[in-house]
Structure 1
Amino acid sequence: MRSLAFGAAAAIVFVMPAFANVHQSWTEILSTYVKTDSTGLNRFDYAKLKASAADSAKLDKYIVDLQKLTPSKMTDKEAFAYWANLYNAATVQVIIQNYPVKSIRDINKNIGNVFGGPWKLNILNVEGNALSLDHIEHGILRGEREAPNKAAFRVKDWKDPRVHYAVNCASIGCPNLPTKAFTAETLDADLDAGARAYVNHPRAVTVRADGRLTVSSIYKWFKVDFGNTDAGVIAHLTKYAKPELAAKLKASKGVAGDAYDWSINSPAVGRS
């Protein structure tokens, strides 16, 4: 898998005054409404944001402003940060529009979409392309599915498994929603921090009494991003695990199963 560590030069090629602080309002929202609980899980206070007309308007404006930009002309790191922030902000917006909900899967659930969720709805438009959350995550950032205007969005540049620690689906089982926006300058460090925070939390991996592992369903659904083997998944987990967990992973007897909690990552509804 290709890493986004392209060097300092790549991070400063695309410089525009209008772009420099474009993610500041998103950082302000995240720093206000994301709180880390005692277990290390980041929870977003959707009810509080929905009750704030000013901050709800700030979120809406941020998403509108992002859609006016041209990510195809950004550097790789700036574009990655752009898409990850847009995905996360749009997901929060969808939750706010439908709140209260117990799970993001309760949104848009119908006969034709029994799994539920807003992921296939074209809720965004960038560079004249109608986009869904799936287009952003799987088509643009992962490059594994069809996405509009692939050439312009340069999806082939990104084959980095850390994408799974960048996008958040508003669920307990998902890697943490960060407390600040992604930016080109700190992207690699932030992705690594997100990976470490998730891998070292029980919702990513637990070691059973028999030495086998229960892993997050992320590592099953998207195994191709982790080498497409259980050994590849374990190697990835070991890379970001703390020493005690890393030793257990190296001595493990393989992956026995997977689990995922679709409960909303809200302090009001989520589990404590």
Structure 2
Amino acid sequence: MVKTLLTALTTSLLLLSFTAFSAPKSELWAYWNSSNEANLQNVSHQSWQAFLDKYLVVDGDNTLIRYVRVSQNDKQQLKSYLSELASIDPRTLNKAEQYAYWVNLYNAITVELILDNYPVKSITKLGGLFSFGPWGDDVITITGQTLTLNDIEHRILRPIWNDPRTHYAVNCASLGCPNLQSQAFTSANTEALLERAANTFINSKKGVDINGDKATLSSIYDWFAKDFEAQGGIIAHMAKYNPKLTEFDGTIDYDYNWDLNKK
């Protein structure tokens, strides 16, 4: 009886944690909302690019990471890259450089978390006892401010740029997630990468799978529906990249695969 009650309590807490994760609000952390548009500095993401070139592979609709093959030296290089980013005050950069900085930081931290805990079946297994994943954990300190992955995505990227394509840029190390891009983001390639990522995801079955009068959409569109309102809603946004959705008038449900994006 006691074991049953504990199991039920644990399940309930995990469900609450999942609910908190599934629809975090876009709430600006004003501290980070400044820039120097006159600054022409380009932050180097070559170390991150070298990691992607070596360990990212394409497999059908997915890009996967060869976590098991990452050498100790390359793990250290990844940590050094994150330390280099942490030594920069991103507020001194122009907005285009900032966007690339935050996206690459988010994605590199996520990969590091998996490597530090590998083997693991899903990123949702990380974090505290009653946490659904590590998104609320402190992961890096920049200019004396301690940040979580949730801070980077939901308090910086989403509210400052108000671009729903950000959901295709940040990667949660899961098969259901929009793919980790094979190129590091830079101020020069961000627009092209965002368009490519949106187009690829929306035209894959993990973005939308249409069977007759039923469409199964990624749960991203359920969790963050508000982010797409300015573009006329989810379907209007998706139809820009997948014209088949323009005339769709059936039922919609949502799904997401939390299995690790491993090769």
For the aligned pair, the TM-score class normalised by the smaller chain equals 0.7 to 0.9
Q: State TM-score, norm by structure 1.
A: 0.80
Alignment match, 2:133: 117
Q: Return the alpha-carbon distance in structure 2 between the equivalents of residues 84 and 77 of structure 1.
A: 11
SS of the counterpart of 1:124? strand
> Residue 213 of structure 1: CA displacement?
1.7
Q: Return the alpha-carbon distance in structure 2 between the equivalents of residues 215 and 228 of structure 1.
A: 19
2:193 counterpart of 1:190: yes
- Of 58, 64, 78, the residue aligned with 1:43 is 64
Does the 8 Å CA contact 2:100/2:187 hold for their aligned counterparts?
A: yes
> Residue 240 of structure 1: CA displacement?
1.6
Alignment match, 2:154: 138
Number of aligned positions between the proteins: 229
Q: Return the alpha-carbon distance in structure 2 between the equivalents of residues 217 and 77 of structure 1.
A: 28
> Residue 201 of structure 1: CA displacement?
0.5
1:40-61, Cα deviation, whole Å (9 max, x unpaired): 3100111111xx0111111000
Q: State TM-score, norm by structure 2.
A: 0.83
> Residue 11 of structure 1: CA displacement?
11
Q: Return the alpha-carbon distance in structure 1 between the equivalents of residues 167 and 151 of structure 2.
A: 15
Does the 8 Å CA contact 1:34/1:44 hold for their aligned counterparts?
A: yes
Note the aligned Cα RMSD (angstroms): 1.9
> Residue 129 of structure 1: CA displacement?
0.6
> Residue 74 of structure 1: CA displacement?
1.1
Alignment match, 2:175: 172
- Of 178, 181, 185, the residue aligned with 2:184 is 181
2:20 counterpart of 1:30: no
Q: Return the alpha-carbon distance in structure 2 between the equivalents of residues 88 and 70 of structure 1.
A: 18
Alignment match, 2:144: 128
1:66–1:130 CA distance, 2 compared to 1 (3 A): same
Q: Return the alpha-carbon distance in structure 1 between the equivalents of residues 116 and 108 of structure 2.
A: 12
Does the 8 Å CA contact 2:36/2:91 hold for their aligned counterparts?
A: no
Does the 8 Å CA contact 2:89/2:142 hold for their aligned counterparts?
A: yes
Q: Return the alpha-carbon distance in structure 2 between the equivalents of residues 120 and 129 of structure 1.
A: 15
Gaps of 5+ in 1: 1-9, 144-154, 268-272
Q: Return the alpha-carbon distance in structure 2 between the equivalents of residues 254 and 181 of structure 1.
A: 38
Once the two structures are superposed, the pairs formed by residues 240-255 of structure 1 within 5 Å of their partners are: 240-241=241-242, 246=243, 248-255=244-251
Q: Return the alpha-carbon distance in structure 1 between the equivalents of residues 37 and 189 of structure 2.
A: 12
Q: Return the alpha-carbon distance in structure 1 between the equivalents of residues 177 and 108 of structure 2.
A: 15
Q: Return the alpha-carbon distance in structure 1 between the equivalents of residues 152 and 168 of structure 2.
A: 14
- Of 46, 53, 71, the residue aligned with 2:72 is 53
Alignment match, 2:82: 63
Q: Return the alpha-carbon distance in structure 1 between the equivalents of residues 69 and 36 of structure 2.
A: 35
Aligned-residue sequence identity (percent) comes to 40
Does the 8 Å CA contact 1:83/1:141 hold for their aligned counterparts?
A: yes
Gaps of 5+ in 2: 1-34
Alignment match, 1:146: none
Does the 8 Å CA contact 1:213/1:253 hold for their aligned counterparts?
A: no
> Residue 136 of structure 1: CA displacement?
0.2
